[in-house]
């Protein structure tokens, strides 16, 4: 379809909304005054907005339609955007007969809205009414967003978000690369020889951060990747000892190590984690169906997941998260049901349910033609099954986010039992606290005034470049900190 704008404002919101009503369709955007795109389109949409009103029109097979609304206050960008999205949503909803679960919300952090309103003193009922009237969110998603925001708020109140900070440490190696991976991880076989030089650079960056942040309180640490447990036990020991020696743990609320892939977890490595104040680990099955694991290139077995989980429990880990993905190739309700049954038997402390996102930089996207015969299914029913499973295990939602190209326009939800939520996950999503990040591809986020201003300093993604240009990475951080007055 063709989507024409008269000016460059809010195009991405409208584009995303149209895409949500027509998943998988090719949408060509262009601007008034430009040459029309070549080719035939099923629908021609046109958006026109000025100082007084917005119009949205459509020319399609055998019919034309038009809708407009008067702008309440053209100087108020948020209000203008909301009015524009409401107009487009109503129009497309009527045209397609569809309602979207998240209404006209196109951003990736739907809880930010209820969170802000809670902070302003609104009641849950008032927020629910506002969300449904303003964004057309369904009853179910409205309840999910508000419940999550309330829990986030309670958890964040334990931290000094202004004066504290969090630390992210990236280990960008994996035993094999999953078909859907968009993290830019490196397979051990080809890149294992870079582990030592990588650690050397990482230690330099961590030492730099500890020196610069010594006057602030460290609240959470997250070691992610990649797969941190690709490190050999002595390497893991060195890393965790280095962190303990260089940072004060006096105000630390949480120390997560994402063990991740069961095929990298051994008793010796878990022993190393036990010898340090690691409070939370992740053992991620993604699915408990072997056929799917083989298809998505995870190269581990269902049995390995079960055995590793039991091993970790025996060794005393009392906060274990499990990540699942729904919408994986070839998986429908039956397969997801089997995974949930197996997970329920293990009874983890938290469960993170991701909806598969078909991102461009993944092998799944590159070779998608090969998977034409395989269905990619996600549905309200599947999302409900995951929610019910989490609730049966005594968990409630504590963070959620959406992604572009997510299967079925759904969301990713983190569920946790009481006192087992991953606080770092909330900090990442709500952008309330500064996160210092070390490692290739790591993005440091300086957060000011409760998230009303955010500045980023990025490290290079490429592993070799990170190692060779570590001085430049430190300089980038130093300059950023000076510029932003950290």
Among 118, 174, 272, 358, binds ligand SF4 (CB under 6 A): 174
User: Which residue, judged by CB position, is nearest to ligand SF4 in the bound state?
Assistant: 181
CB of 323 to ligand SF4, least distance (A): 9
CA–CA separation, 243 and 253 (whole Å): 15
Q: Does 165 bind ligand SF4 (CB under 6 A)?
A: no
**What sign for the dihedral angle of Cα 250, 254, 258, 264?**
positive
Stretch that binds ligand SF4, among 24-32, 114-122, 125-133, 170-178 (CB under 6 A): 170-178
CA–CA separation, 30 and 83 (whole Å): 21
User: Alpha helices of 263-350 — where are they, by DSSP H?
Assistant: 267-274, 290-295, 302-314, 333-346
CA triple 162-403-372, angle to 5 deg = 160
The smaller minimum CB distance to ligand SF4, of residues 117 and 174, is found at 174
Among 148, 185, 220, 352, binds ligand SF4 (CB under 6 A): 185
CB of 174 to ligand SF4, least distance (A): 3
- Structure-token pair, residue 189: 């076989």
Among 114, 260, 285, 348, binds ligand SF4 (CB under 6 A): 260
Among 113, 178, 213, 435, binds ligand SF4 (CB under 6 A): 178
CA–CA separation, 214 and 207 (whole Å): 10
The smaller minimum CB distance to ligand SF4, of residues 260 and 348, is found at 260
**Contact of 159 with 148, CB cutoff 8 Å:** no
The smaller minimum CB distance to ligand SF4, of residues 300 and 417, is found at 300
Pairing of strands 350-355, 453-458: unpaired
CB of 284 to ligand SF4, least distance (A): 7
User: Alpha helices of 22-176 — where are they, by DSSP H?
Assistant: 77-96, 112-119, 124-135, 139-156
**Contact of 339 with 291, CB cutoff 8 Å:** no
The smaller minimum CB distance to ligand SF4, of residues 71 and 177, is found at 177
CB of 296 to ligand SF4, least distance (A): 8
CB of 130 to ligand SF4, least distance (A): 37
The smaller minimum CB distance to ligand SF4, of residues 304 and 430, is found at 304
Distances (CA, A) of 484 to 116, 208, 428, 445, 454: 24, 17, 19, 11, 10
Size of the site for ligand SF4 (CB under 6 A): 11
Among 253, 261, 280, 420, binds ligand SF4 (CB under 6 A): 261
Element (H, E) at 15: helix 11-21
CA–CA separation, 339 and 286 (whole Å): 9
Torsion over CA of 103, 384, 373 and 322, rounded to 10 degrees?
110
CB of 378 to ligand SF4, least distance (A): 18
CA atoms within 13 Å, Cβ hemisphere of 391: 7
The smaller minimum CB distance to ligand SF4, of residues 183 and 415, is found at 183
Stretch that binds ligand SF4, among 62-70, 180-188, 204-212, 351-359 (CB under 6 A): 180-188
217 to 246: interface string for ligand SF4, x by CB under 6 A: --------xxx-------------------
CB of 113 to ligand SF4, least distance (A): 29
The smaller minimum CB distance to ligand SF4, of residues 101 and 260, is found at 260
Q: Does 177 bind ligand SF4 (CB under 6 A)?
A: yes
Please report, as residue ranges, which positions from 29 to 58 form the binding site for ligand SF4 (by CB under 6 A): none
| DSSP 3-state of 162 | coil
**What sign for the dihedral angle of Cα 81, 87, 90, 95?**
negative
**Greatest Cα pair distance in the chain:** 72
CA–CA separation, 88 and 86 (whole Å): 6
The smaller minimum CB distance to ligand SF4, of residues 185 and 444, is found at 185
The smaller minimum CB distance to ligand SF4, of residues 102 and 309, is found at 309
Query: Where are any strands of DSSP class E within 173-216?
Result: 173-174, 186-187
Q: Does 137 bind ligand SF4 (CB under 6 A)?
A: no
The smaller minimum CB distance to ligand SF4, of residues 183 and 309, is found at 183
CB of 122 to ligand SF4, least distance (A): 38
The smaller minimum CB distance to ligand SF4, of residues 118 and 353, is found at 353
Residues that bind ligand SF4 (CB under 6 A): 174, 177-178, 181, 183, 185, 225-227, 260-261
């Amino acid at each position: 379809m063709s989507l024409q704008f008269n000016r460059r404002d809010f195009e991405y919101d409208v584009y995303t909304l149209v895409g949500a009503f027509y998943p998988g369709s090719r949408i060509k955007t262009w601007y008034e005054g430009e040459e029309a795109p070549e080719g035939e389109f099923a629908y021609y949409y046109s958006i026109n907005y000025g100082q007084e009103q917005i119009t949205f029109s459509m020319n399609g097979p055998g019919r034309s339609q038009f809708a407009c609304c008067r702008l309440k206050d053209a100087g108020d960008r948020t209000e203008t955007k909301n009015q524009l999205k409401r107009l487009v949503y109503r129009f497309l909803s009527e045209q397609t007969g569809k309602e979207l679960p998240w209404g006209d919300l196109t951003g990736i952090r739907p809880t930010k809205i209820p969170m802000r309103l809670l902070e302003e003193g609104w009641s849950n009922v008032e927020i629910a009414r506002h969300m449904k009237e303003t964004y057309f969110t369904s009853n179910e998603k409205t309840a999910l967003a508000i419940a999550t925001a309330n829990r986030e708020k309670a958890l964040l109140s334990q931290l000094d978000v202004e004066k504290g900070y969090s630390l992210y440490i990236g280990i960008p190696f994996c035993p094999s690369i999953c078909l859907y991976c968009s993290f830019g991880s490196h397979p051990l076989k080809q890149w294992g020889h870079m582990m030592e030089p990588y650690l050397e650079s990482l230690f330099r960056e961590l030492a730099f951060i500890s020196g610069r942040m010594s006057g602030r309180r460290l609240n959470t640490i997250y070691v992610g990747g990649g797969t941190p447990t690709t490190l050999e036990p002595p390497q893991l020991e060195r890393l965790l000892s280095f962190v303990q020696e260089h940072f004060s743990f006096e105000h630390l609320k949480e120390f997560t190590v994402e063990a991740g892939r069961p095929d990298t977890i051994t008793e010796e490595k878990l022993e190393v984690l036990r010898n340090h104040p690691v409070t939370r680990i992740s053992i991620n099955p993604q699915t408990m169906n072997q056929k799917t694991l083989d298809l998505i290139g995870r190269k581990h077995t269902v049995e390995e997941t079960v055995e590793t989980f039991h091993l970790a429990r025996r060794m005393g880990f009392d906060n274990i998260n499990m990540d699942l993905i729904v919408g994986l190739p070839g998986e429908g309700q039956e397969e997801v049901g089997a995974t949930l049954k197996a997970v329920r038997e293990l009874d983890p402390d938290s469960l993170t349910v991701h909806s598969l996102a078909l991102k461009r930089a993944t092998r799944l996207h590159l070779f998608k033609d090969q998977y034409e015969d395989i269905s990619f299914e996600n549905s309200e029913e599947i999302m409900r099954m995951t929610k019910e499973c989490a609730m049966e295990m005594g968990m409630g939602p504590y963070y959620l986010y959406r992604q572009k190209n997510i299967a079925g326009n759904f969301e990713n939800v983190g569920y946790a039992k009481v006192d087992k939520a991953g606080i770092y996950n909330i900090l990442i999503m709500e952008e309330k606290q500064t996160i210092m990040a070390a490692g290739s591809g790591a993005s440091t986020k300086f957060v000011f005034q409760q998230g009303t201003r955010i500045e980023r300093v990025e490290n290079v993604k490429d592993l070799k470049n990170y190692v060779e240009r570590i001085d430049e990475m430190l300089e980038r951080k130093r300059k950023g900190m000076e510029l932003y007055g950290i």
